[in-house]
Chains A and B, each alone.
Chain A
Amino acid sequence: MNIVVNNKWIGQRTIRPDGVDKVTGRAAFAADTAMPGMIWGKVLRSPHPHARIRSIDTSRAEALPGVKAVVTSRDIVDFPIEKSVMLGIQDMRWMCRNVMARDKALFPGHPVAAVAATTEAIAARACELIEVDYEVLPWSIEIDDAIKPDAPILHEFNKFEGKPSNIVGTLEHKKGDIEQGFKQADVVIERTFTTRPVHQGYIEPHACLISVAADGKTTIWSSSQGQFMVRAMTAYLTGIPQSDIRAIPAEIGGGFGGKTIVYLEPLATLLAKKSGRPVKMVMTREEVMRATGPTSGSKSTVKIGAKKDGTIVAAQGTFYLQAGAFPGSPIRGAAGCSFAPYDIPNVLSVGFDVCSNRSKVAAYRAPGAPIGAYAVECVLDEVAESLKMDPLDFRLKNAAKQGTKAAHGPVFPRIGYVETVEAARNHPHYSAPLGKLQGRGVASGFWFNAGGESSAQVNITEDGNVVVTTGHPDIGGSRAGIANVCAELLGIDYRRVSVIIGDTQTVGFSNLTGGSRVLFASAMVVTQATEKVINTLRERAAKIWEIDPEAVKWENGAAHPASPNAGQFEPLTLEDLAEKAPMQGGPIGAGVQLNTQGAEGGFGTHICDVEVDIELGIARVIRYTAVQDVGRAVHPGYVEGQLQGGVAQGIGWALNEEYIYRSDGKVDNPGFLDYRMPVCSDLPMIDTVLVEVPNPKHPQGVKGVGEVPLVPVMAAVANAIYRAVGKRFYALPMSPPKVLEGLETPPLQQAAE
Chain B
Amino acid sequence: MTDIRYVAPQTLDEAVGAYAAAGSAARILAGGTDLLVQMRSGAVKPGLIVDIKKIRELTAIDELSGGSFRVGAAVPGAVLAEHPRFGKVWPGVLESVNLIGSTQVQGRASAGGNLCNASPAGDSVPAMIAAGAVVTVQGPDGRRELDVEDVPAGPGRTNLKPGEILVSFTLPPRPPGSSDAYLRMIPRTEMDIAVVGCGVSLTLKGGVCTHARVGLGAVAPTALLIEPAAQALIGSRLDDAAINAAANACRAACRPIDDKRGTIAYRTQIAGVLLKRTAKIAAERAQGK
Q: Residues of A with Cβ closer than 8 Å to B?
A: 119, 121, 615-618, 620, 655-656, 660, 668-669, 672-674, 676, 678-682, 735-737, 740-741
Contact = CB atoms under 8 A, between A and B. Distances in A.
A679 B190 contact: yes
Contacts of A680: 190
Nearest to B1: A121
B192 A673 contact: yes
Contact of B189 (A668, A679, A737): A679
B188 A673 contact: no
Nearest to B196: A616
A660 B263 CA distance: 13
B260 A740 contact: no
24 contacts: A121-B1, A615-B273, A616-B273, A617-B266, A618-B187, A655-B187, A656-B187, A668-B259, A669-B260, A673-B191, A674-B260, A674-B261, A676-B192, A678-B188, A679-B188, A679-B191, A681-B190, A736-B187, A736-B262, A736-B266, A737-B263, A740-B269, A740-B270, A741-B266
Shortest 8 CB-CB contacts between residues of A and residues of B: A737-B266, A681-B189, A615-B273, A660-B260, A681-B190, A668-B260, A679-B190, A121-B1
Contacts of A676: 187-188, 192
Interface of B: 1, 185, 187-193, 195, 259-263, 265-266, 269-270, 273
Contact of B265 (A656, A681, A735, A741): A741
A26 B121 CA distance: 39
A60 to B, nearest CB: 18
A655 B262 CA distance: 14
Contacts of A736: 185, 187, 195, 262, 266
Contacts of B266: 617, 736-737, 740-741
A618 to B, nearest CB: 7
B178 to A, nearest CB: 27
Contacts of B192: 673, 676
Looking at A618, A736, A737, A740, the one whose CB has the most chain B CB atoms below 10 A away is A737
Nearest to B40: A284
Contact of B270 (A616, A620, A672): A616
A20 to B, nearest CB: 24
Contacts of B187: 618, 655-656, 676, 735-736
A663 to B, nearest CB: 11
A669 to B, nearest CB: 5
A683 to B, nearest CB: 9
B263 A673 contact: no
Nearest to A124: B42
Given A673-B192, A680-B190, 6 more contacts: A615-B273, A669-B260, A674-B261, A679-B190, A736-B266, A737-B266
**Residue of B189, B265, B273 with most partner-chain A CB within 10 A:** B189
A736 to B, nearest CB: 5
A741 B270 CA distance: 12
A343 B19 CA distance: 74
A681 B190 CA distance: 7
Contacts of B269: 740
Contacts of A615: 273
A622 B270 CA distance: 23
A673 B193 contact: yes
* Residue from A615, A618, A735 with most neighbouring chain B CB atoms (10 Å): A615
A737 B259 CA distance: 11
A678 B193 CA distance: 14
A13 to B, nearest CB: 29
Contacts of B193: 673-674
Contacts of B188: 656, 676, 678-679, 681-682
| Most-contacted residue by chain B among A618, A620, A655, A668 (CB, 10 A) | A618
A737 B273 CA distance: 14
A308 to B, nearest CB: 42
A668 B187 CA distance: 17
Contacts of A655: 187
A616 B262 contact: no
Greatest chain B CB density within 10 A among A121, A616, A620, A660 is at A616
Nearest to B42: A124
A616 B260 contact: no
- Chain A CB within 10 Å — which of B191, B193, B262 has the most? B191
A682 B273 contact: no
A121 B3 CA distance: 12
A320 to B, nearest CB: 24
Contacts of A673: 191-193
A127 to B, nearest CB: 12
Contacts of A617: 266
A680 B185 CA distance: 18
Nearest to B266: A737
B109 to A, nearest CB: 15
A676 B193 CA distance: 11
